[in-house]
Chains A and B, each alone.
Chain A
Amino acid sequence: MTNFLLAAAEEEVHSAVEAAYTSGFWAEYAWIMLVIPWIAVLGIIFFGKRMKYLGAEIAIGMLAFNTIWASILFILNITKGVVYEGAVTIAEIGSNLIFELGWVVDGLSIMMYFVVSFVGLVIFIYAVGYMKGDVRVTWFFASFTIFAGSMLVLVGAPNLVQLIIGWEGVGVASYLLIGHYWEQKENSSAGMKAFFTNKVADIGLIIGAIMVGVTLGTFKFSELSNAAAEHADSLALVAGMIGALLFFGAMGKSAQFPFHIWLPDAMAGPTPVSALMHAATMVTAGVYLMARTFPLYQNLAEDIRPWMVAIATITLFAMGLLALVADDIKKVLAYSTVSQLGYMMVAVAAGGYTAGVFHLFTHAFFKALLFLGAGSVIHAVHSNNMSDMGGLRKDMPRTYWTFVIGSAALAGIIPFSGFWSKDEILVTLGHEGYTAVMWIAIAGAFITAFYMTRAIMLTFHGSYKGHGHPHESEPVMTVPLIILAGFAAVVGFLNIPGVEFGGRGNFTQWLGMREVVMGDHHPTAPDWGMAAIGLGAALLGVLAGLALFARDKATQQERDKFEIPALYPLLRRKYYMDDAALGLVWLIKAPFARAIDWINDYIIDGVVNTMGFLTAGLAQLVYGGLDQRGIDLGFNAFAYASGGSGERLRRLQTGRVQQYASVFVGAAVMFVIGFVIFG
């Protein structure tokens, strides 16, 4: 709706940046991509209930349109390079601050337009099958469209204010969607938790944005980047603080430790919501903000970058361990997302703009694929728990193979996409001198491969432990899986160092299409040594996973006992080996994973709960004590003094109004005493 303005006042467009790149029709009218989601929302609300697919047609049509538009921009950017910025002035604040709504078309935003539109489109199509027969389908698609539309407003924002508008829109939509099954209290609580965790972090973003506005007199990213690149004096003074505040905001949306707590609970929403949230729309917003303001961190706010790296490192490692002990398949993927966000953030914080954003790009495809695959499984077995699954590869071959491809991409197995982007992050960390962090990231790659192998084994191998007979999902759900699997397999090739496509190099150059040069490090040839180490860690993880989880223990034991008694002792010994293996798992898991699980459950949740409890207690104290009763205690003396002892009886008869008056006079006197004596 915000962007109706753009349509209405299109002729007022006053600022257009034209560097040596082309802009042309597709860039100048890119605002259409930001506007039509809101028209679609209105369409869904007004006509959705009467349509065959309850409004999904409109949402899908809108995203298909956007996907085509974004693809054209993508291709133009590859062939010629596109940079354009347009805006409409909405308000002038004070004498020099201008608030504009607009759209940015450059390498970064084109990439995001494409990811949000394309991944969103695939997920929306899948959702038609997934949500069939569900409650409030029209409402779901309306909120879903708001979700995608807000993200487009966010990534198209040329200034911090519009970014905040999109940011809040994403937050509200996520709240609606996570609490979609609001009949169960825990679901709407999960929505609340997500919203509030984000809201706390938003304070940083908002104050940071206002500080940018006050120091620079503008909210525009381009001018922020220019000022940072030129070491503008006014900005230099507060750059560290602004950087820290913006990062604080990004930590909330991108679920960095300790703000990660909302993301696993956010699984309460329908699976397509999780897929969109984890792949394209919500959690990437923080990384996007960091990338958008990258020159600030690169040139002026260097001091806080080690802290950012530290937080992101904790996130990538500790959250990966948590994925090892989860039984809920969506939780495994959720913790995995948090861990991968840690990778993106650590890359950007360490100075690897391209590496972090490239990982965001590849991650969008394979994580959407994994979530949709998990959704397909959940749809078939009616349970989220892997202990109710097993052996599904025979029943659900398409889901199985696409899930394996997604897992391989996530684990960083060559040649799938995750390998290339993770490798680039490791190279960047090594190049920037964060050697210890690099080794932790390599260990993280091992863990990633380990838990994904475990998830595949428990879900698709062994024997089925659930109820009923699971069936492969219908084509409306499996075709999106296959499409995404194709992308997850190949998009990594776009940024192999040294390999170029057409006239404008590769992903690194496409992403570099901006007004201000990034100044991050780009390797010119692949570093095969590092690639071997990363791949080795991932393969070790796969082997460990296979060794520990390939056998279907519980049922195997039963078979050993009753069907093949002759072999029983031998197999029993194997069972001892499994036991030992379990002990090994315990050794790995217990001290780290359990401890972190415990910290997560008790310390961090505890701190949050305690804060909530204290706030509530304080409220009780203020309300019960100060407002309702405290006046009795604190100001009785004053009541006597001001009214005389005979007042006591009347005070009892007429309620508290005298006390109110006493406080009134008392406060007035205290003010006066304070100012006359001390002032």
Chain B
Amino acid sequence: MGYDIDYLAIAPEITVAVAAMVVLSLDLVLPRRQKYWTAIAAVLGVGFAAFPLITLAISDSGAASMFNGSYVVDDFALVLKGLFVAAGYLVLLMSVQYIESDRYYQGEYYFLVLMSILGSMVMASSRDLIVLFIGLELVSGPLFLLAGWRKGDARSNEASLKYFLLGVLSAAIMLYGMSLLYGATGEVTFDGIRAASAGMTGEPLFILAVLFVVIGFAFKVSAVPFHFWAPDTYEGAPTPITAYLSVSSKAAGFVGLLIITYRALPEASAVWGPAIWIMAVLSMTVANLTALRQQNIVRLLAYSSVAQAGFMLVPFAVAGVSNDVDALGSAFTATITYLIIYAFMNLGAFAIVIAGARRTRTGDIDGWAGFGRRSPVLGFLAAVFFFSLAGIPPLAGWYAKFVMFSSAIGGGSVWTGLLAAIAAVNAVIAFYYYARVVKTIWMDEAPDAAGVEYEPVAGSLRLALVLAAAVVFIAGFFPDVINFFSETTRLLASG
């Protein structure tokens, strides 16, 4: 307690921050031809951050609390930081070839990505509104710039602008909600809010505050009807940044939502539960139906990620209507499990898109016809990631869907049952468009087999693909591994 800083506990954050500074300094001194060293520094820096994380995880020192309990490094924070570091590492690997070939400001690019990773790590440890908001803005700020990285491309500019304007709007709504929350309870720490909010669940001011905060995060996780920015931004942004947006940034949004709902506002579950129920149903249904019509693979993945967010919201909705501590804990861990599995399979899918776009030179799904025969390994991995997203055993996605369904059915009320049924129908619809991509890749005739150049896939991208595929397979065959991580976070929900 108190204001003492436990430097060991925040060593992962320090590592990433130092790496960011090193990248920026290197960019200043290096000649143009040697800028690739910034990429190496960034990849190494994030890699190094894993060591203190592992050390902290295996030591028995317990949770470290700083700044009067505003910043806590506990098991939940460590698991999520691990996820952010791993996902960030994969995104950096996916970026190297992409950014290098575009020759846009390499140093700044890596600096901004590292800062965004740092922000998400801060969010995982935040235990009051202010730190949470600072973390969130640290995640989003760099992304506004990164979304517009391809300056010559009008769509990239459009992507950046739309994301920025709507991001600012959502931040404003969320801040408004937070200020009302502070006004209503007189507290900024989550534990304080939780204690103070016991008697005020019916007050309109409090309801307004809760809803606005939840809506702010709904924007980050791109839940319908706050998703409109996502397809446009995803399509225009550089593909590695799209991957980052759809995985790390979304995961950060979920982390915020998890902490706020389970830690600060469990008393208000009658408010956020139904609201998230509606968002979950809308996200799954609208996004899946829309995805059926997509011709562009990135837009397809954009709507798919909105739909997946809907699946991840399902356990929240269950927790909102159930008062059982066990069910609450299961819902909490179900979201974490889904989040971890989703991160790797979605990153893998985007890595395939990056690797494939270099060979097919098109974002149109039809342009991928015959891809499997020209690049069998990539085609196989594409099938792995897309089938995993569809939830086909034994790939990891089935377990994510499984815990989601079992949490919904375990909720034990009509509403959760209905939600499970809607999710089941949506899982089938989703299967259709995922399978369509695989079918195009493997079964359709290539439009023009001649004249397609074989662009080599960079080693870094290959490493990213292999790592993501390895996690998808391991998590599919040994779901206990993922379960172990998500179970350690259960404490946050119950205590």
CB of B161 within 8 A of chain A? yes
Chain A 644-678, CB-CB to B under 8 Å as 1, else 0, gives: 00000000000111011101110110011001100
A196 to B430, CA, bound (A): 12
* B425–A188 CB distance below 8 A: no
A183 to B442, CA, bound (A): 11
CB of A351 within 8 A of chain B? no
* A179–B483 CB distance below 8 A: no
Select which of A1, A91, A615, A661 is within 8 A of B166 by beta carbon. A661
Chain A 621-648, CB-CB to B under 8 Å as 1, else 0, gives: 0111011000100000000000000000
* B286–A188 CB distance below 8 A: no
Chain B 173-200, CB-CB to A under 8 Å as 1, else 0, gives: 1000000000000000000000000000
CB of A310 within 8 A of chain B? no
B478 nearest CB neighbor, chain A only: A90
Chain A 209-235, CB-CB to B under 8 Å as 1, else 0, gives: 011011000000000000000000000
CB of A620 within 8 A of chain B? yes
Q: How far is the CB of B214 from chain A (nearest CB, A)?
A: 9
Complex interface: chain B residues within 8 A of A200 (CB): 428
* B479–A90 CB distance below 8 A: yes
Complex interface: chain B residues within 8 A of A179 (CB): 443
A623-B293, A661-B165, A664-B219 given as contacts; is B480 within 8 A of A92 (CB)? yes
A5-B477, A203-B428, A676-B204 given as contacts; is B166 within 8 A of A667 (CB)? no
A92 to B399, CA, bound (A): 12
* B226–A676 CB distance below 8 A: no
CB of A65 within 8 A of chain B? no
Looking at B161, B173, B402, the one whose CB has the most chain A CB atoms below 10 A away is: B402
A214-B406, A661-B169, A679-B271 given as contacts; is B443 within 8 A of A188 (CB)? yes
CB of A618 within 8 A of chain B? yes
Q: How far is the CB of B167 from chain A (nearest CB, A)?
A: 11
Select which of B229, B394, B425, B435 is within 8 A of A195 by beta carbon. B435
* A615–B292 CB distance below 8 A: yes
* A207–B207 CB distance below 8 A: no
A192-B439, A196-B432, A210-B406 given as contacts; is B392 within 8 A of A90 (CB)? no
Q: How far is the CB of B233 from chain A (nearest CB, A)?
A: 10
A236 to B428, CA, bound (A): 30
A214 to B330, CA, bound (A): 13
- 8 Å CB interface, B427-477 against A: 427-429, 431-432, 435, 439, 442-443, 445, 477
* A91–B405 CB distance below 8 A: no
A206 to B431, CA, bound (A): 15
CB of B420 within 8 A of chain A? yes
Complex interface: chain A residues within 8 A of B290 (CB): 619, 622-623, 627
Complex interface: chain B residues within 8 A of A631 (CB): 228
Chain A interface size, under 10 / 10 to 19 / 20 to 34 / 35 or more = 35 or more
Q: Which of A21-29, A93-101, A275-283 is the interface stretch? A: A93-101
* B215–A668 CB distance below 8 A: yes
Complex interface: chain A residues within 8 A of B161 (CB): 657
Complex interface: chain A residues within 8 A of B170 (CB): 664
Select which of A94, A196, A206, A619 is within 8 A of B292 by beta carbon. A619
Select which of A95, A169, A615 is within 8 A of B289 by beta carbon. A615
- 8 Å CB interface, B100-138 against A: none
Q: How far is the CB of A207 from chain B (nearest CB, A)?
A: 6
A618 to B392, CA, bound (A): 26
* B424–A188 CB distance below 8 A: no
* A1–B169 CB distance below 8 A: no
Q: How far is the CB of B95 from chain A (nearest CB, A)?
A: 27
A167 nearest CB neighbor, chain B only: B393
A169 to B394, CA, bound (A): 9
Complex interface: chain B residues within 8 A of A609 (CB): none
A11 to B442, CA, bound (A): 40
- 8 Å CB interface, B257-280 against A: 270-271, 274-275, 278
B293 nearest CB neighbor, chain A only: A623
A93-B403, A168-B392 given as contacts; is B293 within 8 A of A668 (CB)? no
* A667–B165 CB distance below 8 A: no
Select which of A90, A206, A660 is within 8 A of B480 by beta carbon. A90
Q: How far is the CB of B286 from chain A (nearest CB, A)?
A: 6
A239 to B494, CA, bound (A): 33
A183-B445, A619-B289, A672-B211 given as contacts; is B228 within 8 A of A664 (CB)? yes
CB of B80 within 8 A of chain A? no
CB of B162 within 8 A of chain A? yes
* A660–B162 CB distance below 8 A: yes
Contacts across chains A and B counted by CB atoms under 8 Å? 145
* B424–A206 CB distance below 8 A: yes
Describe A's contact surface by its main secondary structure.
Answer: helix
A172-B392, A675-B207 given as contacts; is B286 within 8 A of A622 (CB)? yes
* A676–B483 CB distance below 8 A: no
CB of A165 within 8 A of chain B? yes
* A165–B393 CB distance below 8 A: yes
A97 nearest CB neighbor, chain B only: B406
CB of B409 within 8 A of chain A? yes
Select which of A91, A211, A664, A671 is within 8 A of B211 by beta carbon. A671
A164-B393, A168-B393, A196-B432 given as contacts; is B207 within 8 A of A672 (CB)? yes
Complex interface: chain A residues within 8 A of B425 (CB): 203
CB of B11 within 8 A of chain A? no
Looking at B286, B403, B425, the one whose CB has the most chain A CB atoms below 10 A away is: B286
* A94–B228 CB distance below 8 A: no
Q: How far is the CB of B113 from chain A (nearest CB, A)?
A: 25
CB of A199 within 8 A of chain B? yes
CB of B212 within 8 A of chain A? yes
- 8 Å CB interface, A57-101 against B: 90-95, 97, 99
Looking at A164, A622, A659, the one whose CB has the most chain B CB atoms below 10 A away is: A622
* A667–B226 CB distance below 8 A: yes
* B211–A619 CB distance below 8 A: no
CB of B208 within 8 A of chain A? yes
Complex interface: chain A residues within 8 A of B428 (CB): 199-200, 203
Q: How far is the CB of B44 from chain A (nearest CB, A)?
A: 34
A179-B443, A203-B428 given as contacts; is B229 within 8 A of A660 (CB)? yes
CB of A182 within 8 A of chain B? yes
CB of B364 within 8 A of chain A? no
A671 to B478, CA, bound (A): 41
Select which of A172, A195, A211 is within 8 A of B409 by beta carbon. A211
A657 to B393, CA, bound (A): 40
Chain B 357-378, CB-CB to A under 8 Å as 1, else 0, gives: 0000000000000000000000
CB of A616 within 8 A of chain B? yes
Q: How far is the CB of B75 from chain A (nearest CB, A)?
A: 18
CB of B410 within 8 A of chain A? yes
CB of A435 within 8 A of chain B? no
A168 to B435, CA, bound (A): 14
* B394–A665 CB distance below 8 A: no
A667 to B275, CA, bound (A): 11
* B228–A199 CB distance below 8 A: no
* B409–A207 CB distance below 8 A: yes
CB of B6 within 8 A of chain A? no
Select which of B162, B169, B429, B483 is within 8 A of A93 by beta carbon. B483
A206-B424, A207-B424 given as contacts; is B166 within 8 A of A657 (CB)? yes
Looking at A95, A210, A616, A659, the one whose CB has the most chain B CB atoms below 10 A away is: A210
* A91–B479 CB distance below 8 A: yes
Complex interface: chain B residues within 8 A of A93 (CB): 402-403, 406, 479, 483
CB of B153 within 8 A of chain A? no
* A94–B166 CB distance below 8 A: no
With A200-B428, A615-B429, A675-B211 known, 12 other A-B pairs at CB within 8 A are: A93-B402, A206-B424, A616-B293, A627-B228, A655-B162, A656-B228, A659-B228, A664-B225, A668-B173, A668-B211, A671-B215, A672-B208
Interface residues of A (CB under 8 A from B): 1-2, 5, 90-95, 97, 99, 164-165, 168-169, 172, 179, 182-183, 188, 192, 195-196, 199-200, 203, 206-207, 210-211, 213-214, 615-616, 618-620, 622-624, 626-627, 631, 655-657, 659-661, 663-665, 667-668, 671-672, 675-676, 679
Can you give 5 A-B contacts (C-beta < 8 A)? A90-B478, A91-B399, A196-B432, A210-B409, A679-B274
